């Protein structure tokens, strides 16, 4: 039995629609006037052809010339840690090896480099490292496109864009998916052991931030090492928006994290789920798919990890996010990047990704191939009202105020 994917309402972030660099601009002359294109002389009583913007150059021109299925060299993918099934990880997850499948279909090598935060990725792209494809989260797409770090997508080369769920086809962080295509989406919350938390219903961020609540397991708690996510959790616990631009609220959240630091086992963004399953922590902030994937991997015929561990978005709310595929302006192989985007938006390949990551898919055509246990799990596909009532918030690009978060988070960890 299949369950229809919840169509989530778009939540306002921050985005401005960008004009196409090839749009034609017409200059209108006064009645009876004579105009001429630069460098030419108009005959009396005639009107010169309208002036146009120059055609795109460099990587954008190369990308715009790509055809569907065309490649132009090996693809250098810069992706989050363990965010594509290949090799032993695909085998362990009992899904197809998508790296091997892409290489076999297109005859090019897929070279994967991994990162652990949006900010780490941004630093590399801003420095000019020529990756062909990156996987930025929603708010980071806004940052990168506004900084001129991304190419517009040549949608003629990505016919599988038609498979995208309408809920993700015109996102506020990138109107019309001009610069990005959705990859996965999910939530940030708390993974925990039932030894210390009896019931996921009513769980509070206080199990991390309130010493009166976590006294029995102090030292067995982890927070993400991510300035927006970790500051966001503290802000939600305090009753504020994770996109606040109030300096007092940001400083209060930083003070809370600093006060919590003594009770932490680690700030960690890669492997937090393993620490939980291995018993080194009992409560952890993290991304839903990482936790659920770890629980699934730990389960055997004789042991069900889901009976020992849980995941929940706290009652104060948490973060919702969309990860995307985007092509840096420094890409050397934009055609191969477009081919990979189209490959990942294939219905079966998109389902394989979700069946491996345990994150929700923005690919509507993938539904029939996604495992039923995933489609029916509210910790993967949360109720739509959680987005509508503000319990779950998407991160917004805060512009220069982001520096306030960076400084406050650095101070909290020091």
Model confidence over 65-117: pLDDT tens digits?
A: 999 999 999 999 999 999 999 999 999 999 999 999 999 999 999 999 999 88
Task: Specify the DSSP element, H or E, that contains 180.
Answer: strand 180-193
Give Cα separations from 128 to 16, 124, 150, 358 (angstroms): 24, 7, 12, 33
* 201 plus 90 within the same structural domain: no
Backbone angle region of 221, left / alpha / beta, with phi > 0 → left and psi within -120 to 50 → alpha: beta
pLDDT-derived band of residue 5, with 50, 70 and 90 as boundaries? very low
Whether 2 shows a pLDDT value over 70: the answer reads no
Tell me whether residue 250 is in a domain: yes
Whether 390 shows a pLDDT value over 60: the answer reads yes
Whether 237 and 255 have beta carbons less than 8 Å apart is answered as: no
Question: Looking at residue 83, what DSSP letter applies?
Answer: -
* 212 plus 224 within the same structural domain: yes
Q: How many domains does the chain have?
A: 2
* 141 plus 153 within the same structural domain: yes
Helices 347-357 + 288-298 axis angle, to 10 = 70
Q: How far apart are CA 330 and CA 133, in angstroms?
A: 10
pTM: 0.76
* 259 plus 405 within the same structural domain: yes
| pLDDT value, residue 21 | 39
User: How many angstroms from the chain centroid is the CA of residue 95?
Assistant: 22
| pLDDT value, residue 50 | 54
| CATH classification of the domain holding 99 | 3.40.190.10
Domain that holds residue 275: 187-320+399-413
Q: How far apart are CA 251 and CA 244, in angstroms?
A: 11
Query: For a pLDDT cut of 90, what percent of the chain falls above it?
Result: 77
Per-residue burial over 394-411, b if 16 or more Cβ lie within 10 Å, else e, is: bbbbbeebbebbeebbee
* 256 plus 329 within the same structural domain: no
Tell me whether residue 35 is in a domain: no
* 306 plus 349 within the same structural domain: no
Q: Which residues pair with 180 in a beta bridge?
A: 326
| pLDDT value, residue 56 | 66
* 154 plus 209 within the same structural domain: no
């Amino acid at each position: 039995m299949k369950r229809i994917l919840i169509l989530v309402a778009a939540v306002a972030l921050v985005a401005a629609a960008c004009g196409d660099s090839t749009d034609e601009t017409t200059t209108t002359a006064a009645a009876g006037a004579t105009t001429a294109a630069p460098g030419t002389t108009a005959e009396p009583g005639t009107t010169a052809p309208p002036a146009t913007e120059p055609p795109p150059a460099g990587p954008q021109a190369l990308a715009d010339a790509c055809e569907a299925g065309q490649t132009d060299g090996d693809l250098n993918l810069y992706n989050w840690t363990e965010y594509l099934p290949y090799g032993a990880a695909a085998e362990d997850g009992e899904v197809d090896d998508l790296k091997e499948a892409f290489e076999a279909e297109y005859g090019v090598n897929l070279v994967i480099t991994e990162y652990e935060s949006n900010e780490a990725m941004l630093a590399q792209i801003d420095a000019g490292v020529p990756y062909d494809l990156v996987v930025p989260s929603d708010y980071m797409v806004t940052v990168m496109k506004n900084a001129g770090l991304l190419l517009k997508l040549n949608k003629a080369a990505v016919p599988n864009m038609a498979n995208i769920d309408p809920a993700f086809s015109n996102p506020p962080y990138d109107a019309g998916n001009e610069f990005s295509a959705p990859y996965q989406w999910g939530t940030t919350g708390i993974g925990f052991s039932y030894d210390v938390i009896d019931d996921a219903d009513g769980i509070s961020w206080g199990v991390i931030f309130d010493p009166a609540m976590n006294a029995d397991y102090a030292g067995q708690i982890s927070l993400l090492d991510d300035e927006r996510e970790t500051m966001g959790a503290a802000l939600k616990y305090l009753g504020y928006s994770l996109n606040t631009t109030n300096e007092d609220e940001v400083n209060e959240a930083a003070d809370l994290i600093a006060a919590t630091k003594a009770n932490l086992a680690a700030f960690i963004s890669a492997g937090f789920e393993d620490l939980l399953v291995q018993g080194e922590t009992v409560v952890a902030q993290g991304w839903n798919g990482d936790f659920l994937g770890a629980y699934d991997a730990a389960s055997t015929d004789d042991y069900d990890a889901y009976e020992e561990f849980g995941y929940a978005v706290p009652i104060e709310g948490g973060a919702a996010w969309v990860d995307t595929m985007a092509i840096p302006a420094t890409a050397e192989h934009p055609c191969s990047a477009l081919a990979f985007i189209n490959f990942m938006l294939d219905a079966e390949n998109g389902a394989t990704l979700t069946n491996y990551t345990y994150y929700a898919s923005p690919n509507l055509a993938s539904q029939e191939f996604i495992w039923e246990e995933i489609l029916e799990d509210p910790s993967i596909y949360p109720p739509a009202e959680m987005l509508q009532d503000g319990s779950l918030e998407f991160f917004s690009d805060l512009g220069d105020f982001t520096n306030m978060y960076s400084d406050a988070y650095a101070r909290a960890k020091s």
